[in-house]
């Protein structure tokens, strides 16, 4: 098995793995603005994500209005309380976590699924939710590019999408799926914040890989 | 606005953007197997994706059984016909497209959402579909790492998830969202295959960016 002639250089390969390994879901930001040229590059990276049937269902709403930013923060705060109550025995643990950096980050953006998606059938007849998968790939591109640029990002999904749609005058059929906090950070967390805070543990990768069937997972099925 | 001290080197940054720009949804493969150590690195890259509430909902089912591979191909072929018929006036155009490389690729994998997801409420009370967003981020990590390694990948979503669940003995509540064709390729398409084949055009990024509201898109809202 010789290496592929289409392979990047070792240094380039390491850089891609480094971005993947050091990307974090950030909640702590410095208020400094993002250089507009860099922001444009990040959005272009997002736009080069794969999309089902090349439908490119992603829409980006930049929140530059201060009052609107506060309204978004309030919306998330409402859902934070609702989530805490729904978590029952973990309510106190959850309430101690910092779950967003909406008021601090240099750039705030909402990412939404476009309206009129029902006419896109390619790859979606049995799995209509592939549009969301495409948008998630776009956000992951943006996230990795931001990490390489030294910028932090946090994906906040603690909000009522209908209330957010009203705030942003979204048309029927469009749906917000992310409030993205983007900006400069003091430092990146060494491990995922929810791991650091003992909310959950990193699972063992081998336990998540099966061979030909969901049920036949055995210790000897390791691929190394 | 000075650059971030957390910034990668210029060469590393370029490598991340290169992987993003040159990643393609591949349908043409050479049959050579993937080096097991590389495959393990790709899966580890997937496992380092962000996940809502750190739930890590991704499961990977490697398809090494030849008969099973043929059954998966048949399942996709069935859905390809159904999709073509649903597309009506674009049926002929669609039928000319190569939509998968299941029988040719060196490594075939199904990616699924785990079962028992309903107890994970963090970030999902109002947006339960964030589990799929997490799995999509994992697949995008794998895709970008594969591109850097010179390996091609294709995400096939043309299948009936219930029939696939039966084939793979998946428990109730688990759901397959991707058949991934992974392997060596002769060359990467210079542009997305669906763009090359005139199925759809790349949209203008500026048209997808709004400012504070869905409705106030104007030419002067460009961020550059």
Domain segments of chain B as ranges: 11-189
Q: For tokens 């000897």, what's the residue?
A: A220
CA gap A123, A134 in Å, rounded: 11
**Which CATH superfamily groups domain A24-189?**
NADH Oxidase (3.40.109.10)
Does A21 contact B at CB distance below 8 Å?
A: yes
B121-175 pLDDT tens trace: 999 999 999 999 999 999 999 999 999 999 999 999 999 999 999 999 999 999 9
CA gap A115, B93 in Å, rounded: 25
H or E stretch covering B49: none
Cβ pairs A/B, distance under 8 A:
351
H or E stretch covering A58: strand A58-62
pLDDT at B217: 56
The pLDDT confidence band at residue A194, using thresholds 50, 70 and 90, is very high
Which residues in A lie closer than 8 A to residue B211 (C-beta atoms)?
61-62, 64
What's chain B's Rg over C-alpha atoms? Answer: 20
pLDDT at B45: 98
Q: How far is CA A33 from the centre of its chain?
A: 20
Find out whether B39 and A223 touch, Cβ atoms under 8 Å: yes
Find out whether B63 and B102 touch, Cβ atoms under 8 Å: no
A194–B53: do the CB atoms touch at under 8 Å?
A: yes
Which residues in A lie closer than 8 A to residue B75 (C-beta atoms)?
none
A53-97 pLDDT tens trace: 999 999 999 999 999 999 999 999 999 999 999 999 999 999 999
Is the pLDDT at A112 greater than 90, yes or no? yes
Class level of CATH domain B11-189: alpha beta
Q: Which of residues 30-69 of A touch B (CB under 8 A)?
A: 32-37, 39-41, 43-45, 47-50, 52-56, 58-65, 68
From the list B60, B203, B205, the residue facing A44 with the nearest CB is: B205
* Least Cα separation, residue A103 to chain B (angstroms): 15
Reduced to 3 states (helix: H, G, I; strand: E, B; else coil), residue B125 is coil
Residue A66's nearest CA partner among A103, A18, A28 is A103
Find out whether A141 and A48 touch, Cβ atoms under 8 Å: yes
A137-178 pLDDT tens trace: 999 999 999 999 999 999 999 999 999 999 999 999 999 999
CA gap B166, A16 in Å, rounded: 36
Find out whether B59 and B113 touch, Cβ atoms under 8 Å: yes
pLDDT at A4: 78
Is the pLDDT at B204 greater than 70, yes or no? yes
From the list A6, A8, A65, the residue facing B15 with the nearest CB is: A8
The pLDDT confidence band at residue B215, using thresholds 50, 70 and 90, is confident
Find out whether B68 and B77 touch, Cβ atoms under 8 Å: no
* Least Cα separation, residue B20 to chain A (angstroms): 6
Residues A68-93 as b or e (16 or more Cβ within 10 Å = b): bbeebbebbeebbeebbeebeeeeee
Residue of A nearest to B11 (CA): A12
CA dihedral sign, ordered B204, A156, A134, B80: negative
From the list A58, A150, A208, the residue facing B7 with the nearest CB is: A150
Q: Which of residues 131-160 of A touch B (CB under 8 A)?
A: 132-137, 139-141, 143-145, 147-152, 155, 157-160
Which residues in B lie closer than 8 A to residue A178 (C-beta atoms)?
133
A212–B168: do the CB atoms touch at under 8 Å?
A: yes
Q: For tokens 């059938």, what's the residue?
A: A121
pLDDT at B116: 96
Look over chain B and give the mean of its residue pLDDT values, rounded to a whole number: 95
CA distances from A7 to A4, A98, B44, B57 (A): 5, 40, 19, 30
Is the pLDDT at A27 greater than 90, yes or no? yes
Strand pairing report for B58-62 and A209-211: parallel
pTM of the complete model? 0.95
From the list B35, B61, B126, the residue facing A159 with the nearest CB is: B126
From the list A25, A56, A211, the residue facing B64 with the nearest CB is: A211
From the list A45, A58, A157, the residue facing B52 with the nearest CB is: A157
CA gap B149, B166 in Å, rounded: 33
ipTM of the complex: 0.95
Residue B180's nearest CA partner among B83, B56, B60 is B60
* Least Cα separation, residue B103 to chain A (angstroms): 15
CA distances from A58 to A197, A205, B176 (A): 32, 31, 23
A43–B205: do the CB atoms touch at under 8 Å?
A: yes
Is the pLDDT at A183 greater than 90, yes or no? yes
Q: Which of residues 96-115 of A touch B (CB under 8 A)?
A: none
The pLDDT confidence band at residue A223, using thresholds 50, 70 and 90, is very low
B37-91 pLDDT tens trace: 999 999 999 999 999 999 999 999 999 999 999 999 999 999 999 999 999 999 9
The pLDDT confidence band at residue A217, using thresholds 50, 70 and 90, is low
Is the pLDDT at B110 greater than 80, yes or no? yes
Q: What are phi and psi of B51, to 5 degrees?
A: -145, 145
Residue spans of beta strands (DSSP E) within chain B: 58-62, 107-113, 152-156, 175-183, 209-211
CA dihedral sign, ordered B44, A16, B99, B107: negative
Does B172 contact A at CB distance below 8 Å?
A: no
Side-chain-facing half-sphere of B101: CA atoms under 13 Å = 21
CA gap A117, A55 in Å, rounded: 9
A38-54 pLDDT tens trace: 999 999 999 999 999 99
From the list B12, B184, B223, the residue facing A18 with the nearest CB is: B12
Which of B157, B176, B190 to mutate to test binding with chain A, by most A CBs within 10 Å of its CB? B157
Is the pLDDT at A221 greater than 70, yes or no? no
Is the pLDDT at B219 greater than 70, yes or no? no
Is the pLDDT at A182 greater than 70, yes or no? yes
Q: Is A116 left (phi over 0), alpha (psi -120 to 50) or beta?
A: left
CA gap B85, B81 in Å, rounded: 6
């Amino acid at each position: 098995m010789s290496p592929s002639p289409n392979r990047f250089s070792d240094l380039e390969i390491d850089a891609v793995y480094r971005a993947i390994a050091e990307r974090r879901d950030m909640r702590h930001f410095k208020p400094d603005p993002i250089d507009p040229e860099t922001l444009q590059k990040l959005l272009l990276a997002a736009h080069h994500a794969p999309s089902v049937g090349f439908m490119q269902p992603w829409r980006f709403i930049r929140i530059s209005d201060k009052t609107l930013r506060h309204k978004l923060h309030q919306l998330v705060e409402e859902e934070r309380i609702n989530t805490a109550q729904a978590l029952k025995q973990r309510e106190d643990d959850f309430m101690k976590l910092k779950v967003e950096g909406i008021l601090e980050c240099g750039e705030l953006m909402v990412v939404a699924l476009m309206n009129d998606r029902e006419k896109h059938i390619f790859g979606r007849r049995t799995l209509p939710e592939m549009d969301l998968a495409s948008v998630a790939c776009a956000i992951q591109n943006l996230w990795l590019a931001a990490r390489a640029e030294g910028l932090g990002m946090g994906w906040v999904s603690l909000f009522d999408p209908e209330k957010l749609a009203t705030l942003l005058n979204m048309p029927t059929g469009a749906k917000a799926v992310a409030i993205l906090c983007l900006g400069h950070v003091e430092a990146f967390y060494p491990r995922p914040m929810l791991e650091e805070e003992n909310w959950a543990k990193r699972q063992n990768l081998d336990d998540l890989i099966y061979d030909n069937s969901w049920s036949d997972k055995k210790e000897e099925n390791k691929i190394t």
